[in-house]
Amino acid sequence: MAEPKPRVKLPKSVTAGVPFRVRTRITHPMHTGLRHDGDGNPVPRRIINRFVVRYEGEVAISVDLEPAVSADPYVEFEMSVPESGELEFEWVEDGGAVYRLQRRIDVS
């Protein structure tokens, strides 16, 4: 499997205090540990179990994901910010692997 690839879609600019839509997706197989490979061996559990978004270092949203979430988890939400700043997106996988992406949001 290829390395998980996180993606984030943000508006080019936003207005201070006005909610805007954030769309995220990470390419990931989300193996539940219940399947078997062609030789009958169990495929180890490997899921994204936590998604966190921080604005300027402060947690803006935190989501616990369960094994029933499909492959390539997609999370969409609305948020607002008071001024331009950095958004950090973090996906945490079983076993401790962490995938991060940072994006700047500009307030007009």
Give tens-digit pLDDT for 26-45. 999 888 888 899 999 998 88
The fold of the 5-34+46-105 domain, in CATH, is Immunoglobulin-like (2.60.40)
Residues 6+ apart with CB under 8 A from 96: none
Burial, 81: exposed, middle or buried (Cβ in 10 Å; 0-12, 13-18, 19+)?
buried
Running DSSP on this structure, what letter comes out for residue 26? E
Give tens-digit pLDDT for 42-88. 988 889 999 999 999 999 999 998 877 788 999 999 999 999 999 99
Query: Could you state, in order of their start, the residue ranges of all structural domains in the chain?
Result: 5-34+46-105
Per the listing, tokens 């180890």 go with 44
Burial, 51: exposed, middle or buried (Cβ in 10 Å; 0-12, 13-18, 19+)?
buried
Three-class SS state of 25: strand
